[in-house]
């Protein structure tokens, strides 16, 4: 008996139909010597820390970092998952031959290998079915060309390394930052998600801190055509006026005329990321929704495998392409009428074996079925692009005019489209293109002609960078934070991107689900939760797009066999170990610290702290009071010796509807966020070289709100009344730090639950807590005034 494992039931049905396995059984299809069964994506996952050591169920800084000597596996704790695993496990153990038919890629390989290992059949050899589409012909060809499973060992090693690296970084960093800065909130850190969040926060800060500055540009009008000054723009009004006066009243002289043909080649075929970007641009579709629609089209056998990072086809596909185009003629006959299907122009922009790895570009299969409006729109764009790559280039006549007036140079470019070529398939895009805006039909100029002209200046202002859309965010993720448009440079950076084509949509969705970012129409904006999280992560590598992109490149090297999995995991282990070694910095209790201005020792005065060389002129003074809250001696030493507080300082204002968390530093600007408010409530605090000034921009609307006060219980720290407001449950005493958020680990916390917690010190078992996407049950406990889950 041969057992075939597909990644999902719908694919299993297609495979079973081809193999003749038409008898329905519980969890599989049987017939003709085959049993075709399925997973639901992942059935097996890595063990949790508590599965290695029961003591790790309780989160503690003393147990970090935790890195298993050998990773173990568990079946995902969902009833339908466990039931299906038992069926697959029994089939695997009774099989004479195994065939892996999960998605042809890194994650699909991991799904099969984890199930094979967990079922105790890892020593059993298997064959690999590698499909790029689900058409009957592709399935038939795939089963005729089954490959040995061992050929994909490197792919599995890369997948396993990715899984284990994410576990090590995610578990250890999440526990550390939650325990250190959580205030009852789970702060999730991810190997890829955190650098992406940091990019978004950085862009938001660049926009907020941007100061628009005026500048002036010089133009002249000659024969009803505007020409622009050839030099740099003017930062000062006086400089622009001086240059204007220089050429005013002087003749304009045509110095140079250059005419040439320019060609704009058709665009490349789509890979997943470029298609997600295009759909976000055209229809404001999220990357996740685009991928879901593509998956539907793939399972309907209309397009090839969508989770690809290639924009090229392999040479062995040449013979099949005319037939695909011929089948598409019933929906795109007019577009295809301009092509000779027997003599298609296969260029290196279309066929390139060196740039096709696991899968080729997304193209239609030739099959046509009825679709919903949005599915039809997505499918039509793939068909249109597939046809466009075989169209001729767009040919333009370009005329470059250069002239001078009293040695002041000007220039203009005229564009006239001679042959539209492939652009006829994109009329809307053509009308919005840069060349269309610049398309100027110039009069016939004569070399060395001259005449009167009207010079003038225009005042403009510098513009801040734009917030990310999913389109631009995907581009930044693909290029590890670098905005690149040239395809050659894109290909070079692709292997050092953040995540993969298959995972980028889920990364964005994870940030949205955890309320670190929000969608505002087309824009992706950081929430105050997201800003706060980035602010407390002081290890730049955890936030670095380039650093994480380098890890992705090394995973590719593992996949190619150029780097061993042991070497890769050794680097990950060393990184996380080093991360926690730097955490163990100790504060010297016998000194205050060094002056941040001159590095001399700090001395304590009656009301504050200052530099010991104050007589020599050093003006550094530090007042240890923030918003009425006096810093402890330990906090002062941390601030002056480490440059920061090891824990954020909670500051409450009596009329404010929330709690500020401030990260203090010895010099420069510091920031704070109201982390429990749903909308971003960013506060900026400044610190001068001589003293610390905190001046938050208060929110008038929130400060004027009258809240209904209802006692929930007695505060475990100061015995005052605990009240509920729109942000959570907190002590009525403004200086007390006790606080319970409205939501913990994805579960809403009710007033009666907090009341029980305050009365008994713990709650009954509660269901509905979430760790990533998995749910778990636990109790809430009070420990030293902090709420923990066990």
Residue numbers annotated as active site: 305
Do residues 158 and 105 lie in contact, with contact meaning Cβ atoms separated by under 8 Å?
no
Q: 772 CB contacts (<8 Å, ≥6 apart)?
A: 188
Q: What is the 3-state secondary structure (H, E, C) of 672-739?
A: EEECCCCCCCEEEEEECCCCEECCCCCCHHHHCCCCCCCEEEECCCCCCEEEEECCEEEECCCCCCCE
Q: 695 CB contacts (<8 Å, ≥6 apart)?
A: 685, 686
Q: How many other C-beta atoms lie within 10 A of the C-beta of residue 407? A: 9
Report DSSP letters for 168-224, one per residue: HHHHHHHHHHHHHH-TT------TTHHHHHHHHHHHHHHHHH----EEEEEEEEETT
Do residues 398 and 259 lie in contact, with contact meaning Cβ atoms separated by under 8 Å?
yes
Q: Which alpha helices (DSSP H) does 7-105 contain, by range?
A: 9-19, 49-52, 79-94
Interstrand relation of 2-6 and 97-101 (parallel, antiparallel or unpaired): parallel
Cα separation, 218 vs 176, whole angstroms: 57
Half-sphere exposure of 646 (CA within 13 A, CB side): 17
Cα separation, 393 vs 8, whole angstroms: 42
Cα separation, 83 vs 86, whole angstroms: 5
Cα separation, 309 vs 501, whole angstroms: 6
How large is the greatest C-alpha to C-alpha distance in the chain, in angstroms?
A: 96
Do residues 778 and 790 lie in contact, with contact meaning Cβ atoms separated by under 8 Å?
yes
Extract the tokens encoding 440: 């100027």
Half-sphere exposure of 149 (CA within 13 A, CB side): 21
DSSP 355: G
Residue 726 CA, distance from chain mean position:
30
* Three-state DSSP class for residue 590: coil
Burial readout 38-77 (b: 16 or more C-beta within 10 A, e: otherwise): bbeebbbbbebbeeeeeebeebeeeebbebbeeeeeebbe
């Amino acid at each position: 008996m041969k057992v075939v494992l597909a990644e999902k039931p719908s694919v299993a049905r297609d495979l079973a139909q081809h193999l003749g396995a038409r008898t329905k059984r519980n969890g599989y299809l049987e017939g003709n010597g085959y049993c075709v069964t399925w997973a639901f994506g992942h059935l097996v996952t890595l063990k949790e820390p508590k599965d290695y050591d029961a003591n790790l169920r309780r989160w503690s800084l003393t147990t970090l970092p935790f890195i298993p000597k050998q990773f173990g596996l568990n079946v995902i704790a969902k009833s339908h998952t466990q039931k299906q695993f038992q069926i697959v496990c029994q089939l695997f153990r009774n099989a004479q031959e195994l065939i892996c038919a999960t998605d042809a890629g890194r994650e699909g390989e991991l799904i099969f290998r984890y199930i094979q290992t967990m079922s105790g059949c890892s020593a059993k050899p298997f064959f690999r079915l590698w499909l790029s589409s689900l058409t009957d012909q592709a399935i038939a060809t795939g089963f005729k060309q089954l490959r040995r499973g061992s050929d994909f060992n490197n792919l599995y090693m890369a997948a396993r390394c990715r899984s284990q690296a994410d576990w090590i970084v995610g578990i250890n960093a999440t526990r550390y930052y939650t325990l250190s800065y959580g205030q009852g909130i789970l702060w999730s850190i991810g190997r890829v998600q955190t650098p992406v969040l940091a990019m978004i926060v950085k862009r938001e800060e660049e926009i907020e801190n941007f100061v628009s500055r005026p500048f002036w540009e010089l133009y002249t009008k000659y024969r009803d055509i505007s020409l622009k000054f050839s030099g740099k723009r003017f930062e000062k009004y006086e400089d622009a006026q001086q240059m204007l006066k220089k050429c005013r009243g002087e003749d304009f002289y045509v110095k140079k005329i250059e005419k040439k043909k320019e060609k704009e080649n058709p665009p490349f075929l789509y890979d997943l990321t470029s298609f997600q970007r295009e759909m976000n641009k055209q229809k404001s579709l999220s990357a996740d929704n685009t991928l879901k629609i593509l998956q539907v089209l793939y399972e309907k056998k209309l397009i090839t495998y969508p989770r690809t990072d290639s924009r090229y086809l392999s040479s062995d596909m040449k013979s099949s392409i005319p037939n695909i185009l011929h089948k598409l003629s019933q929906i795109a006959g007019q577009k295809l009428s301009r092509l000779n299907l027997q003599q298609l122009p296969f260029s290196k922009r279309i066929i390139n074996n060196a740039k096709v790895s696991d899968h080729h570009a997304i193209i239609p299969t030739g099959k046509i079925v009825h679709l919903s409006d949005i599915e039809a729109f997505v499918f039509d764009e793939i068909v249109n692009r597939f046809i466009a790559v075989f169209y001729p280039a767009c040919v333009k006549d370009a005329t470059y005019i250069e002239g001078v007036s009293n040695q002041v140079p000007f220039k203009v470019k005229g564009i006239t489209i001679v042959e539209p070529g492939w652009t006829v398939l994109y009329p809307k895009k053509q009308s919005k293109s840069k060349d269309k805006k610049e398309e100027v039909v110039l009069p016939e100029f004569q070399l060395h002609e001259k005449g009167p002209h009207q010079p003038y200046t225009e005042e403009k202002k510098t513009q801040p960078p734009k917030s990310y859309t999913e389109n631009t965010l995907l581009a930044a993720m693909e290029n590890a934070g670098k905005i690149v448009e040239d395809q050659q440079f894109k290909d070079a950076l692709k292997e050092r991107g953040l995540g993969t084509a298959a995972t980028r949509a889920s990364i964005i969705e994870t940030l949205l689900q955890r309320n670190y970012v929000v969608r505002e129409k087309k824009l992706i904006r950081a929430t105050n939760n997201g800003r706060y999280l980035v602010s407390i992560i002081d290890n730049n590598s955890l936030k670095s797009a380039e650093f994480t992109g380098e890890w992705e490149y090394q995973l590719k090297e593992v996949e190619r066999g150029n780097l061993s999995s042991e070497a890769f995991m050794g680097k990950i282990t060393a990184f996380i170990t080093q991360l926690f070694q730097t955490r163990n910095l100790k504060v010297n209790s016998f000194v205050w610290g060094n002056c941040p201005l001159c590095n001399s020792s700090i001395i304590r005065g009656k009301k504050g702290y200052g530099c010991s060389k104050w007589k020599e002129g050093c003006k550094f003074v530090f007042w240890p009071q923030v918003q009425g809250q006096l810093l402890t001696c330990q906090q002062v030493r941390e601030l002056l010796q480490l440059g920061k507080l090891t824990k954020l300082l909670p500051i409450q204002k009596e009329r404010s509807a929330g709690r500020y968390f401030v990260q203090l530093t010895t010099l420069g600007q510091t920031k704070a966020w109201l982390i429990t408010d749903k909308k971003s409530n960013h506060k900026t605090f400044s610190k001068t070289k001589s003293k610390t000034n905190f001046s938050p921009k208060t929110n008038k609307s929130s400060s004027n709100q009258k809240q209904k006060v209802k006692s929930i219980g007695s505060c475990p720290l100061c015995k005052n009344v605990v009240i509920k407001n729109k942000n959570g449950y907190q002590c009525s005493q403004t200086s007390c730090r006790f606080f319970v958020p409205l939501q913990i680990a994805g579960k809403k916390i009710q007033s009666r639950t907090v009341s029980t917690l305050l009365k008994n010190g713990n709650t009954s078992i509660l269901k509905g807590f979430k760790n990533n996407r998995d749910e778990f049950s636990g109790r809430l406990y009070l420990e030293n005034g902090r709420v923990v889950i066990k």
